[in-house]
Amino acid sequence: MIIRTLQQAEQTNRKIVSPDGNWDSTRLLLKEDQMGFSFHITTIYKGADFQMHYQNHLESVYCISGEGEVETLDDGKKRSITPGTIYILDQHDKHVLRAFSEMKMACVFNPPLNGKEVHNPEGAYELQADSINS
């Protein structure tokens, strides 16, 4: 069994701060743990409004706190995101996330992240990113 705490992990290089200033993410479980998925606690900063397109990954995002909306760009549908809502990007959906207040999210990725991923210009994570140990 592996035990980690968010409070400790936030003090290490498991916490990645997005260069675009929209979010930070503490990656509690990564590929090197060999679980087949990764698990992160992500903070989306108030006022963030940005596009993502996870072409190489499937992602589920559960809202713990805060309020916002997610828009799928293929059909223009906007869905409200409030505590208790999960959105599941089962179609590699191109989407925009807007945070009306600071949002705390629990995120799961398959395949798992290596650790140091930040979004490329298309809003995806590359499969070959560095691990937190490199």
Considering only 99, 105, 112, 115, the residue that binds ligand 9YT (CB under 6 A) is: 105
Sequence-separated (6 or more) residues with CB below 8 Å from residue 8: none
Q: Which of 14, 28, 30, 42 binds ligand 9YT (CB under 6 A)?
A: 42
| The two three-digit tokens of residue 133, written as one number | 């140990």
CA dist., res. 35 & res. 38, Å (int) = 8
Site for ligand 9YT in 18-37 (CB under 6 A): 23, 25
> Interface with ligand 9YT includes 43 (CB under 6 A)?
no
Q: In what order do the strands lie in the sheet with 77-81?
A: 49-52, 95-99, 68-72, 77-81
Residue 52 makes contact with ligand 9YT by CB under 6 A: yes
Site residues for ligand 9YT per CB under 6 A: 23, 25, 40, 42, 52, 59, 61, 97, 105, 107
